[in-house]
Amino acid sequence: MCGITGFISSKWSAEDLRKMTRRLQHRGPDAEGFYSNSSQEIHLGHRRLSILDLSEAANQPFFSKDKRYVMVFNGEVFNYKEIAQKHHIVTETTSDTEVIIELFSLKGPQAFQEFNGMFAIAIWDTVDEKLTLVRDRFGIKPLCYYDGPDGFAFASEIKALLKLPIPRRINTEALADYLFLEYIPKPNTIFQNIKKLSNGCYIEVTNKVHVTIKTFYDIREKYNPVKIKEKDAVEEFHQLLSSAVKSRMISDVPIGAFLSGGVDSSLVVAKFQENSKTSVETFTIGFDEKRYDESGYAKRVAEILKTNHQEYRLPTTDIFSVLKDAVEFYDEPFAVSSVLPSLLISKVTRQHTTVALTGDGGDELFMGYNTYYWYNRVDKLKRIGGKASLKLAESILLMLGGKPAIKSRLFDGWNDKHPFLNMWSQEQQMFTQHEVGKLLNYTYKHATTIPYWESLEKISLTNEQAVSFFDINYYLADDLMYKMDIASMRHGLEVRCPFLDYHLAEFAINLPVELKINNGTQKYILKKALERYLPVQLIYRTKWGFAAPSEEWLKSSHTYLIDNYLSEKYIETQGIFNFKEIKSLIENFRAGNYFHSKRIWSLVIFQLWFEQYMKPEKN
């Protein structure tokens, strides 16, 4: 895993490239490399985290044998040995890098179809003077770019692009989407003129400024449902997950795994241990607040699977120091409080291993979230009783207070053309579209993800299947993968996701829904598979999720964040938000309506990000 940078420009210099690349030193602490061709106005930079072939021969930028192509690459292609054998590629290194560029030399962009892994790649064609950028199928590895009058630039992280003399202007639509969804969906970023390359896509840049975006993979096109018996499906799942884990065990450095004690990570660790000759190193994070702490389950799973397990805690006293770290390295506002334990678990894991396996992807592929349950429930209520029944249910839940009051907001916007997006927003306890508009003083109507959702409506899908596709394309790629990539690479840790092996993912989307949700049991097939390794009482328990106690922090130990960053003076000076709305929100929260905590947290996070990235004295 690494950090990549580059640009095509006559106005930026080799020194600019060095500044960009060195801003990503945390992603690649082991080596640094540059390629510049002033006559072609192309510059490429690379920071290396050595995983396969630790020798200098595998350093980048890397040239094809015929010297026509030069490449910088972030990630891993796990089937590189099979590719080399299939295409008779004779290699001089034991790195996947060499196989990638030689296959591209043979097949061009068609090569991307054969890569099984996680990758963000930049390849310069010295003959045709064409730059090709590509991002993996599920967005595991990030890639962003700037396209402006002064040149075209790309990088693994936005913060590297900001080392160039480009304008920093907030994208209002992206800010509104953030307040609605908790993250900023592709292709936008918080900055105008900086975009995310969508997963499964590649860009070709020719004639210095002509940019063409093309798709090489779309999981919707892989939808071809099959009938399969439960026993056969469980057995095929075992084979696919085992294969995915084994291919991701390949490493020339120490490797371990995250273990939360939940279904997904337990399955990955079980397969890892099953295929390992020694005890697997596993790591978990705990909290002082008991209702958020699952570390006890992780310990029991580790004992049964006989892993070498290590547990760490995030003490309340350490929160602000980790929060400061998060604000520096997450270069967009990002309201997911679990970034803090993600940063900490990555830090402590890196002290023992350089690579870690994770269970990310299981919930999206096998329908593990509450939204699958609530979407159908509310839709059924509307069909039976119409708008009146929704209004009555909302009023009853609100009157009950506490957790039921949180669920009352799920009914907001159900009469919209695309009610699921409102439900998803409120399941995350973010602002409604109307509330976002009042905060920002304009009429906000979410539009960024609508074309994708409308494309799903044209396919014969159940509600659950449509939500699953949406989660795979947006929540997984733009939220969860962003969270884990930044957290892990902050500490030079490579994280691998066996569930996102594309063979396993395509198997999952084509399974009958009843093998994912069966009589109310979500991720049914995963739980049946896990029965091979764990007792049922550990498997069929209430799902907690990987959350952090931000509500508790804002109520007590870190309430000063509200006072410091959401004060009238700060808000009025900043000139972005409507203070009247923020004041009302804070008063409600401090009056005991703690279900507003996530909304307040999202505002505090934006303000901390603003301090870090938009204040002149910080840059």
Burial 202-224 (b: 16+ CB within 10 A, else e): bbbbeeeeeeeeeebbebeeebe
Residue type, 498: P
* Environment class of 147 (CB within 10 Å of its CB; exposed 0-12, middle 13-18, buried 19+): middle
Q: What is the pLDDT of residue 545?
A: 58
Q: Are 602 and 562 in contact (CB under 8 A)?
A: no
Q: Is residue 410 part of a domain?
A: no
Per-residue pLDDT, averaged over 460-481, amounts to: 95
Position with higher pLDDT, 457 vs 477: 477
Interior angle at CA 559, CA 554 and CA 563, nearest 5 = 130
pTM of structure? 0.94
- The answer to whether residues 131 and 244 belong to one domain is no
- Listed in sequence order, the residues at least 6 apart from 221 whose beta carbon sits closer than 8 Å to its beta carbon are none
Radius of gyration of the chain (CA): 24
- The answer to whether residues 261 and 331 belong to one domain is yes
E strand segments, 454-581: 494-496, 517-518, 521-522
Q: Is residue 451 part of a domain?
A: no
What strand order describes the sheet that includes 42-48? 31-37, 42-48, 2-8, 151-155, 144-148, 194-196
- The answer to whether residues 60 and 172 belong to one domain is yes
Q: Is residue 462 part of a domain?
A: no
Is pLDDT at 236 greater than 80 in this prediction?
yes
- The answer to whether residues 555 and 609 belong to one domain is yes
Per-residue pLDDT, averaged over 263-272, amounts to: 98
Q: What is the DSSP string of 37-106?
A: ETTTTEEEEEEE---S--SGGG-SSEE-TTSSEEEEEEEEETTHHHHHHHTT---SSSSHHHHHHHHHHH
Q: Are 46 and 33 in contact (CB under 8 A)?
A: yes
Q: Is residue 209 part of a domain?
A: yes
Q: Are 296 and 333 in contact (CB under 8 A)?
A: no
For residue 576 the two structure tokens come to: 């972005």
Residue that finishes a domain, picked among 165, 187, 217: 217
Q: What is the pLDDT of residue 30?
A: 87
HSE-CB at 145 with a 13 A cutoff on CA atoms is 28
Handedness of CA 140, 344, 1, 14 (dihedral sign): positive
3-state secondary structure of 543: coil
- The answer to whether residues 263 and 324 belong to one domain is yes
Structural domain tally of the chain? 3
What strand order describes the sheet that includes 355-357? 308-314, 281-287, 255-258, 355-357, 494-496
Q: Is residue 376 part of a domain?
A: no
Question: Which residue range(s) make up the domain with 250?
Answer: 221-367+483-539
Q: What is the pLDDT of residue 385?
A: 78
Q: Is residue 413 part of a domain?
A: no
- The answer to whether residues 573 and 499 belong to one domain is no
Residue in the block written with tokens 């598979």: 529
Residue that finishes a domain, picked among 163, 195, 217: 217
Q: What is the pLDDT of residue 382?
A: 78
Q: Specify the pairing of strand 355-357 against strand 494-496.
A: parallel
H/E segment holding residue 257: strand 255-258
Residue that finishes a domain, picked among 539, 564, 583: 539
Per-residue pLDDT, averaged over 155-172, amounts to: 97
Asked, as a colleague might, if the bond just before 451 is cis with ω within 30 of 0, I would say no
- The answer to whether residues 501 and 566 belong to one domain is no
Q: Which of 2, 144, 201, 497 is catalytic?
A: 2
Q: Are 268 and 357 in contact (CB under 8 A)?
A: yes
- The answer to whether residues 204 and 235 belong to one domain is no
Q: Is residue 458 part of a domain?
A: no
Q: Is residue 427 part of a domain?
A: no
Task: Verify whether residue 201 is a known catalytic residue.
Answer: no
Residue type, 448: T
Give per-residue pLDDT as tens, 349-376: 999 999 999 999 999 999 999 888 878 7
What is the chain's mean pLDDT, rounded?
92
Give per-residue pLDDT as tens, 573-591: 999 999 999 999 999 888 8
Give the pLDDT band of residue 53 (cuts 50, 70, 90): low
**With helix as H, strand as E and coil as C, how does 8-33 read?**
ECCCCCHHHHHHHHHCCHHHCECEEE
Whole-number percent of the chain with pLDDT over 90: 74
Q: What is the pLDDT of residue 423?
A: 87
Whole-number percent of the chain with pLDDT over 70: 96
Per-residue pLDDT, averaged over 399-426, amounts to: 79
Is pLDDT at 256 greater than 80 in this prediction?
yes
Q: Are 410 and 401 in contact (CB under 8 A)?
A: no
